[in-house]
Amino acid sequence: MFLLVDYRSPINTHGHSLTTLVQMMFVSGETGEPSPETTTLIESIVQDQVQHMLRECTTLATRRGSKSIGTDDLFMLIRHDRAKISRLRHFLQWKDVRRSVKDSDDKGGDAGADVAAGDADLAAGVVGAGPAAPGDAGKKAKRAKVDLVWDVQSFFAENPPLMDDVEDEEEEEMNYATLQRLKNADERTKNMTREEYVHWSDCRQASFTYRKGKRFKEWAGFGLITDSKPSDDIIDILGFLTFEIVQTLTEEALRVKEAEDLYKKSTGGGAEANRLKRKRERGLFDPPEEAREPVQPGHVQEAYRRLQRGNMKSRAMLNFTKSVHRAALKLVSLLPEYGTMR
Amino acid sequence: MSLHPSSRDRLNHARPVSNALRLRTPNASMSDEAMSNGSNNNNPAEGLETAAEDDPRVARWRENYLRTEARITALLGGDQIYDGVDGEAARLADQPAVDAPAAHDARPTATPKKAARTIDEDDYGDDDDEEEEEEDDTRTSPLLAKSAPNGIPCAAIDAPSLRISSLSSKLGIDFIGTPSAEQPKSADDVRKKLQQDKEAAEAAAKRSFYTTFYTLESDRDAMLEQQRLDELDRQVETEMSGQSAATPAPGASAAPQQGTLSTTNLGASSLTLKHLIARIDAERDKVKASDTQLRSLISEVRKNRSKWANEDRVGQEELYESMEKVIMELKAGEHANPFLQRVNKREAPDYYNVIKQPMDIGTMMKKLKQLAYKSKKEFVDDLMLIWANCLKYNSASDHPLRKKALYMRKETEKLVPLIPDITVRDRAEVEAEERRMRNGDADADGADDSEDEEPIMASRGRKAPSKGGKGSSAARKAPPAGLESTPDQENKPTVPTLNHTVSNLKNEFLRADSEMEGSVNGFATPPPGTLTPIGPNGLLRGGAHGSQADVSEADGTGASVSGFPEEDADLDDLEYKTWKQVTKKDRATIAAERHRLFREDQLQPDEPAILRSRAGMRRWARHRKQAIEEGASGASTSLAEVKDGVQATTSQSLAEGIAGEEERQVPDYYDPVCTIPDLDERLHWVEDSQGHVIQQHEEYMRLLPSGQFTAPDSALAKKMESNIRQMQETRKICAKIGIVKQMQLQSQMYQNQFQKYDPQPFVEADIEPVVVSDDGPVMAPYVCRAALQRSVGKIFYHAGFEEFQPSALDAITDIAGDFFQKLVASFGLYRETPKMKSDVAVPDANGTPTHWVPRFTQEEAILHSLQVNGVDLETVETYVKDDVERLGTKLAGMHDRMRSYYAELLRPALDNAGADGSGAFNDGSEQFVGGDFAEDIGEDFFGFKELGLDKEFGVAFSVPLHLLQNRMHNAYQSQNTNNVTTTGALMEEPAKFEPVTVQNVTKQIGLMRTWFLTKLHDNSNQSLVEDDDLPPKQRFPKPRLPPTGKISSPRKRPLREQQQMARKKRKLDEEKDENGGNDQGSSANGNLMKGLGKPVGKLKLEMPQKENQNVAEPEKDDGSAVGMISPESILAA
């Protein structure tokens, strides 16, 4: 264990926070019941990552000359992950929509509640699932475009209003990413029974931030790392990113485990496991193979190592020098080789 | 004469072949030579008088000789000096061969007649005819036949001839060198031959200069030896100078008797004057001058008289010259050291007990200087004595000195033939003899004319050979006994010659003092008869010619032929030895020169430096050229070519040597200061015919092709450039929007407040035309960096930065440069990975199949190096797709947005203008006047274009933007008075009111007076200023008159006052209760302000009408419209 479990952390102190984590892992593909060690490890990794993000954001904000961190800083951190960026933008757009609808629906109408439900979904991280719900109400409301700071409009001094009929190319990209996610989810739920699906959809609702914003803030180190009072957006984005981290980590750990299992199977596995397996053929009453053991902390560690592995780009400028590359802590994100999208 | 037929008999057998082979084969040459001996004996006059040069034939003979004597030819590279004599000899040699087949059977006795012929030319003519006939037959015979039957026919004939044929090569050589007819010259030629051998050896050594590097280790020895030699020379010199007084002058007074001029000792140069002398001799009676006079005359005329020359000592010059040469040669030899000086008694106490007759080279030199040698024999005896002494004293067989002595003896034997067999005699004696001869001999029938030339030979003192020579050679015929039994034996003069040659060759080892003595003896006996042509006839016929010639020639060849194989045995050493020998003196000199500088183991600053000399440089260049030529001729070239090359080079060097430079026999690395560095051809100093220097470099100059430092015209670059252009266009609109917005906000404008934003398109300037002198890339780091910087700047701009800090640009440029360096370095690494062996042969660049293929293909290398530097193709593709192509579409979209935004800004009225836009005119619609949007929508609003006015005036019709905006009107009204006054209905400006001052305030009406007074008081009694004359900021806004003519709003305060007022009001609000009076006023002001707050909005709509009046005019008057176009008007995009 390279990370001591911080028992002050809000999630850990409350049982259901760990449950959130387990739910997220389940959504990410872990079917078994992970041990507390595993979840604690994952949690500490995630916490570390979130705090790292906050630190970076603060640095960026300071460099910008701003005291408080903004969404742009967060965008900047994940700028290389285009899919994530586009999903975030999508999320923020819809959030904006919800807010405006809420404002306009102060007088009446239940559109707000509808959107709120969508928002919850979004905040849980499964962004693609959200927008479908609000449906027409959101569509009608004029969506504020969430622009990236480095996008084209930043080139020019004037920011002309959006033209109505402008087809946003990025929308398609966002949709593509969303569809990809939905497709994956669909694959997973295809063979689920009704109960299983209910469980699954319950798990999808899991969120670090939804109605736990305050605890999350504490956990992430707001107030310690950065003084500023974070906006709602930032908390939501962080929640989303946290979910992403958990998911990526879990997926990678599962991949590690899979590879390990394969290796064990091909070589006969470890000494004792080998003997056991050799001893008896698979019997009729043996437990089904699907009931596999959950991800172990070792798998998570290996996954984390893999995700921290430096790439060539980071050390390109050190070629032909004798300097040793010291990689900074990396944000856990999809490894390029597994990425369906860059 | 009787011999002649017999010789021909012998040759008859061989004739068919020898004829066929005649001119070209060694065999033929041999037999020809053999015959020539005979025939020459028959008609010596013929041989003697043939002065005509017959070079073609010489050339042929030389060819023969060269073809057969590969080895010798190589060594004899330098027989360049063939004079007429040789030609003659060859000619003579030819002649009998021609005669023989044709006529000798038929007229054996006819030959004497021929010999007696006085006119040789006739004889030659005949011979030539015959020869030509023969040649018709023979020359058609294939060349191949010549070499093959060479030995066979001879063998068929008889043993001797076979043997002879085996020797033929030698004879062939000799043949050229020794004109058998001319005895004296034959000796000369032998010497020449030896000289040539030596030269050849030198040439060989010199050639090795280019191929072998000899270490300098032996230089010191060489130097020391040379020093000893010099010491010896000096010693001899001093001793000589002491003795010289005692030495009697050998010269005696010339006899008054008239002799032949040619008997004068004219030395070597007599050769050149030969014909003159011959002529003079022939016409002697007609010449009135005495002999002495003539002699002295000619002596003066001719050049190169050596120090040995002496009028009264016949033969001395030549003899001594050659003797000196020989002794110098021996002295310089590497083994000569122990023999240089007289044996010291202290070193060898018993030496003089053993050796009764000590001798050493030093003593010999002394004797030479003292002219103590009378003949070759004496000299040779002395030489041999040295070696004999040594061998005698050091009798132990393994004594090192013995080896040296033996070696020296061998050398001596080689060199001795160089010395002409001349006995020095007093002129008086010679002349006396001459006279005796003249008187005694009467039968000068056929030889009369030959007499003309004969004396020349006599004069050279080499005529002397006699029976003695024959006798000796005949006597030593013993070894080749078989020869004597052959029928050829009857041909006396011939056989001995041949036998002698054979014996010489065969019994090289036997040839020792005895032989030398024999021959020397033979020569040494000076038969007086030689001087007369008639007398010597018999003698000559007796074999004197032949034998002497043969002895010498045999010796020469014997030495040259046998000497080399001998040395071949220790070939490894040979080359080095030759080299050492040849270069010894020069090496010693150079070493000594160097040594001078470092004497006593320290640098001698006062010694002259070793400097580069002109001659040295020339020599160096010549050697280099020579080496290149030789290298070019290559090993594969035929012998003839080699010969030519050698000849050419040697003659060249000879010529240059004559030109006054001393040729040094050392490799160039001995003279490092004189080496000339490789100069580029283009840097050579070449002058044209007028003596102007030709600027060669111009030919090599070339203009650097343009485009080296600009971005290549690729699709990507084009896309990026179009993006950049798009951005510029959008920025233009942006700037206009900004101006419009600014004008809407700002109450006041300055004339130059808004700079027109008109970015220029980016053009990549290439470098100025640059002239370079070589191929290859231009190494200009600064230019390259600047080019990279420009590209980086473009990328910056493309990424959206309109401006950037130079430091940022620099930093990125440096990083990019660093990165590219690493990229290229890793690419180089991948490219240069050692090749690996493949199973299938792959043709390489030259097409030859090779199994070694590069480890990485070009593509792999590129991909690897990209990967290792953190670039993958996907990233690159993404960049192109997203950051270039998609950016283009985004930019286009943005441009459209900007345009529409701009248009919207300009015409807010259009929004509520109704369906047909007619509603836009309802509110005065001054925006329509600004042609900007009219242009935007592509309408010819004013019809200017229709009228063609836009072209006529060359301007775009657009109304100044500020006129369109009512807010602006205020600010611009005063500034644009010119416009207004010129365009509006003008009146004389009324006289200005007199400013109200304290003085003239009384002139005002009473009602106003108090008001004015308070004003003045406020103004601290300064004169009051009219509102219109106030500075613009203090000016009151002018009330605008609506169409109704009513002033609806109260008067506004000037701007500053308003601000002050606002400030005051805030203050007053806080202390409202304190100051009631002020409160009252300020509240009034506040009301005023409140009133003003709205009118601004209202006036916005009101003002246009007024403006309209001004602007509407252009519709009536085009000229005024033109006048309204102000320079600061901004064109809408």
* Maximum alpha-carbon separation in chain B: 180
The pLDDT of residue A168 is 57
Q: Are the C-beta atoms of residues B360 and B343 closer than 8 Å to each other?
A: yes
Q: Tell me which of A330-334, B40-44, B997-1001 is least confident.
A: B40-44
Task: Give per-residue pLDDT as tens, B952-1005.
Answer: 555 444 444 444 444 444 444 444 444 443 444 567 777 777 777 777 877 778
The pLDDT of residue B1005 is 83
The pLDDT of residue B991 is 77
Which amino acid is it at A27?
V
End-to-end Cα, chain B, rounded Å: 128
Question: DSSP readout, B964-988?
Answer: H-HHHHHHHHHHTHHHHHHHS---P
Q: Are the C-beta atoms of residues B521 and B466 closer than 8 Å to each other?
A: no
Asked if A176 has any chain B CB less than 8 Å from its own CB, the reply is no
Q: Are the C-beta atoms of residues B512 and B561 closer than 8 Å to each other?
A: no
Q: Tell me which of B224-238, B748-762, B1119-1133 is least confident.
A: B1119-1133
Task: For residue B418, give the DSSP letter.
Answer: G
The pLDDT of residue B497 is 41
The pLDDT of residue B123 is 42
Q: Tell me which of A280-294, A307-321, B922-936 is least confident.
A: B922-936
Q: Tell me which of B36-40, B341-345, B943-947 is least confident.
A: B36-40
Please return the burial class of A335, using the count of CB atoms within 10 Å of its CB with bins 0-12, 13-18 and 19+: middle
Asked if B822 has any chain A CB less than 8 Å from its own CB, the reply is yes
Asked whether the beta carbons of residue A162 and residue B730 sit closer than 8 angstroms, the reply is no
A interface test, pick of B820, B897, B898 with most A CB neighbours within 10 Å: B897
The pLDDT of residue A246 is 87
Closest CA to B180 of B446, B483, B424, B541: B541
The pLDDT of residue B736 is 84
Q: Tell me which of A56-60, B317-321, B762-766 is least confident.
A: B317-321
Chain A residues inside the 8 Å CB shell of B897: 160-163, 166
Q: Tell me which of A55-69, A156-170, B970-984 is least confident.
A: B970-984
Q: Are the C-beta atoms of residues B250 and B426 closer than 8 Å to each other?
A: yes
Q: Tell me which of B77-81, B303-307, B985-989 is least confident.
A: B77-81
B139 has pLDDT over 60: no
The pLDDT of residue B256 is 41
B20 has pLDDT over 60: no
**Strands B771-772 and B702-703: what pairing?**
antiparallel
Residue identified by tokens 């700047």 is B793
B1124 has pLDDT over 60: no
**E strand spans, B539-580:** none
Asked if A152 has any chain B CB less than 8 Å from its own CB, the reply is yes
For B489, residues 6+ apart whose C-beta sits below 8 A from its C-beta are B483, B495
Coil, helix or strand at residue B588 = helix
Percent of chain B with pLDDT over 90: 3
Asked if B803 has any chain A CB less than 8 Å from its own CB, the reply is no
Closest CA to A114 of A92, A94, A86: A94
Asked whether the beta carbons of residue A169 and residue B898 sit closer than 8 angstroms, the reply is no
State the pLDDT confidence band at B937, using cuts at 50, 70 and 90.
low
Closest CA to B925 of B902, B943, B949, B941: B941
Q: Which of B734, B741, B869 minimises the CB distance to A156?
A: B734
Task: For residue B687, give the DSSP letter.
Answer: B
Helices B3-21 and B120-138 cross at an angle (nearest 10°) of 40
Asked if A155 has any chain B CB less than 8 Å from its own CB, the reply is yes
**CA–CA separation, B472 and B517 (whole Å):** 9
Q: Are the C-beta atoms of residues B78 and B650 closer than 8 Å to each other?
A: yes
Task: Give per-residue pLDDT as tens, B1037-1070.
Answer: 666 667 776 666 665 565 666 677 777 777 776 6
Q: How many CB atoms lie within 10 A of CB B794?
A: 17
Asked whether the beta carbons of residue A160 and residue B901 sit closer than 8 angstroms, the reply is yes
Q: Are the C-beta atoms of residues B64 and B25 closer than 8 Å to each other?
A: yes
Chain A residues inside the 8 Å CB shell of B730: 155-156
The pLDDT of residue B808 is 92
Q: Are the C-beta atoms of residues B830 and B856 closer than 8 Å to each other?
A: yes
State the pLDDT confidence band at B689, using cuts at 50, 70 and 90.
confident
Chain A residue nearest residue B815, CA to CA = A317
Task: Give per-residue pLDDT as tens, B452-507.
Answer: 444 444 444 444 444 443 444 433 444 444 434 444 444 444 344 444 444 444 44
Q: What is the mean pLDDT of chain B?
A: 62
Asked if B898 has any chain A CB less than 8 Å from its own CB, the reply is yes
State the pLDDT confidence band at B385, using cuts at 50, 70 and 90.
confident
Is the Cα dihedral A170, A172, A178, A183 positive or negative? Answer: negative
- Buried b vs exposed e over A128-160: b needs ≥16 C-beta within 10 Å? bbbbebbeebbeebebebbebeeebbebbebeb
B810 has pLDDT over 90: yes
B782 has pLDDT over 60: yes
Mean pLDDT of B834-844: 79
Q: How far is CA B91 from CA B54, B118, B123, B449, in A?
A: 7, 17, 12, 19
Interface of A with B in 109-138 (CB under 8 A): none
The residue that leads in pLDDT, B165 or B958, is B958
A&B contacts, CB < 8 Å = 78
A58 has pLDDT over 80: yes
Asked if B800 has any chain A CB less than 8 Å from its own CB, the reply is yes
Q: Are the C-beta atoms of residues B869 and B823 closer than 8 Å to each other?
A: yes
Q: Print the SS3 string covering chain A.
A: CCCCCCCCCHHHHCHHHHHHHHHHHHHHCCCCCCCHHHHHHHHHHHHHHHHHHHHHHHHHHHHHCCCCCCHHHHHHHCCCCHHHHHHHHHHHHHHHHHHHHHHHCCCCCCHHHHHHHHHHHHHHCCCCHHHHCCCHHHHHCCCCCCCCCCCHHHHCCCCCCCCCCCCCHHHHHHHHHHHHHHHHHHHHHCCCCHHHHHHHHHHHCCCCCCCCHHHHHHHHCECCCECCCCCHHHHHHHHHHHHHHHHHHHHHHHHHHHHHHHHHHHHCCCHHHHHHHHHCCCCCCCCCCCCCCCCCHHHHHHHHHHHHCCCHHHHHHHCCCCCCCCCCCCCCCCCCCCCCCC
Q: Tell me which of A213-227, B531-545, B676-690 is least confident.
A: B531-545
Residue identified by tokens 């029974």 is A193
**CA–CA separation, B93 and B114 (whole Å):** 15
Mean pLDDT of B1112-1130: 37
Interface of A with B in 221-250 (CB under 8 A): none
**Strands B771-772 and B836-843: what pairing?**
unpaired
For B412, residues 6+ apart whose C-beta sits below 8 A from its C-beta are B326, B330, B380, B383, B384, B387
Task: For residue B738, give the DSSP letter.
Answer: H
The pLDDT of residue B792 is 92
Asked whether the beta carbons of residue A158 and residue B819 sit closer than 8 angstroms, the reply is no
Percent of chain B with pLDDT over 70: 45
Task: Give per-residue pLDDT as tens, B650-673.
Answer: 334 433 444 444 556 677 777 777
**CA–CA separation, B408 and B394 (whole Å):** 15
Mean pLDDT of B210-230: 74
B721 has pLDDT over 70: yes
State the pLDDT confidence band at A165, using cuts at 50, 70 and 90.
low
Chain B residues inside the 8 Å CB shell of A170: none
Which amino acid is it at A101?
V
Chain B residue nearest residue A337, CA to CA = B874
B896 has pLDDT over 70: yes
Q: To the nearest whole angstrom, how far is the Cα of B901 from the nearest Cα of chain A?
A: 6
**CA–CA separation, A312 and A328 (whole Å):** 14
Closest CA to B82 of B49, B121, B56: B56
Question: DSSP readout, B64-76?
Answer: HHHHH-HHHHHHT
The pLDDT of residue B643 is 39
The pLDDT of residue B943 is 58
A197 has pLDDT over 50: yes
Both tokens assigned to B138? 């023979």
Asked whether the beta carbons of residue A319 and residue B894 sit closer than 8 angstroms, the reply is no
Mean pLDDT of A23-48: 83
Both tokens assigned to B167? 């020797």
The pLDDT of residue B431 is 73
Asked if A314 has any chain B CB less than 8 Å from its own CB, the reply is yes
Chain A residue nearest residue B732, CA to CA = A156
**CA–CA separation, B521 and B507 (whole Å):** 20
Chain CA centroid to CA B1085, Å: 101
Is the Cα dihedral B726, B731, B737, B743 positive or negative? Answer: negative
The pLDDT of residue B647 is 39
Chain B residue nearest residue A310, CA to CA = B870
Both tokens assigned to A275? 């003997």
Task: Give per-residue pLDDT as tens, B84-114.
Answer: 444 444 444 444 444 444 444 444 444 444 4
B419 has pLDDT over 60: yes
Closest CA to B1126 of B752, B757, B739: B752
Q: Print the SS3 string covering B1113-1132.
A: HHHHCHHHHHHHCCCCCCCC
Q: Are the C-beta atoms of residues B334 and B581 closer than 8 Å to each other?
A: yes
Which amino acid is it at B263?
T
The pLDDT of residue B908 is 54
Q: Are the C-beta atoms of residues A256 and A303 closer than 8 Å to each other?
A: yes
B814 has pLDDT over 80: yes
Q: Are the C-beta atoms of residues B1123 and B959 closer than 8 Å to each other?
A: no
Q: How many CB atoms lie within 10 A of CB B634?
A: 10
State the pLDDT confidence band at B827, using cuts at 50, 70 and 90.
very high
